[in-house]
Amino acid sequence: MNADYQFKCNSHDGAISYIILPIKRLHDALRVLNNGFYPHENCCAALELTKNSKAVDELNHLVIETIKDGISIVALDNANDEIIGISVNKIQCDCGVDVFEQYNVDKLMEIMFLAVLPKCRNSNIGTELVRADLILAKELSKSFNGPKLVTALWTSNYTSKIGEKLDFEVLATRHASNIIYNGIKFSDKIDAEHQTIKLAGKRINEN
């Protein structure tokens, strides 16, 4: 995408801005993931990601490469200029996966990682990050022949509720007991209330 493209949404009270992550703030964005995602997200917990520094480094490298696409959004606290949340997004093109055929699209935006600093949870920031993703996807669809669909993998009840609130359609579900790594079920490693993983999507309306 054009590096000069500008995008900004504000919270109702103006306290939080949702903007495309500036590359110069990459370190701040990684801090949110390292503190707010890797230690707490259910799949990361099941894989005991934080016990493997090499795996964390590899995931951070993936994030850095993804952010270069220029469509990842951060929540910026205007009071102190602190990045307190991030949605790491990636444009995916049709590679024969069923979701493309189901929605009859050739391009989508995938919400890869959604993270908020622990101190800022229960403040609706995750919901507003995804809402900003949808607004950005709509703008890209209109102006740059961008994605016609936004997808996400909801791995907790909290993110599932975000999807419900923003009218995502659940495309597939899988119980954590059916996912096994090194002979251990994911369900044995994560909280009992967060046992269902959902693939969800929302079509972008250009009108």
List the CATH number of the domain containing 161: 3.40.630.30
Going by C-alpha positions, the residue among 45, 85, 6 that lies closest to residue 192 is: 45
pLDDT at 4 > cutoff 70: no
Distance between CA atoms of residues 33 and 30, nearest Å? 5
Query: Is 3 a domain residue?
Result: no
- Grade residue 182 by pLDDT with cuts at 50, 70 and 90: confident
> What's phi and psi for 131, nearest 5 deg?
-60, -40
pTM of the model: 0.90
Q: How much is the pLDDT for 1?
A: 55
Domain count, the chain: 1
63 Cβ neighbours under 8 A, 6+ residues apart: 29, 30, 33, 88, 112, 113
Residue 81 placed within a domain: yes
Domain membership of residue 138 as a residue range: 8-203
Is it the case that residue 142 has pLDDT exceeding 90?
A: no
**Residues near 114 by beta carbon (within 8 Å), at least 6 away in sequence:** 37, 86, 87, 88, 126, 129, 130, 152, 159, 162
Residue of higher predicted confidence among 23 and 95: 23
55-70 residue pLDDT tens: 999 999 999 999 988 9
**Main-chain dihedrals φ then ψ at residue 190, nearest 5 degrees:** -120, 165
Average pLDDT, the chain: 92
Domain for residue 156, yes or no? yes
pLDDT at 94: 66
The answer, yes or no, to whether residue 2 has pLDDT greater than 60, is: no
Percent of the residues in the chain that have a pLDDT greater than 90, as a whole number: 77
pLDDT tens-digit map of 93-127 = 765 558 888 898 989 999 999 999 999 988 999 99
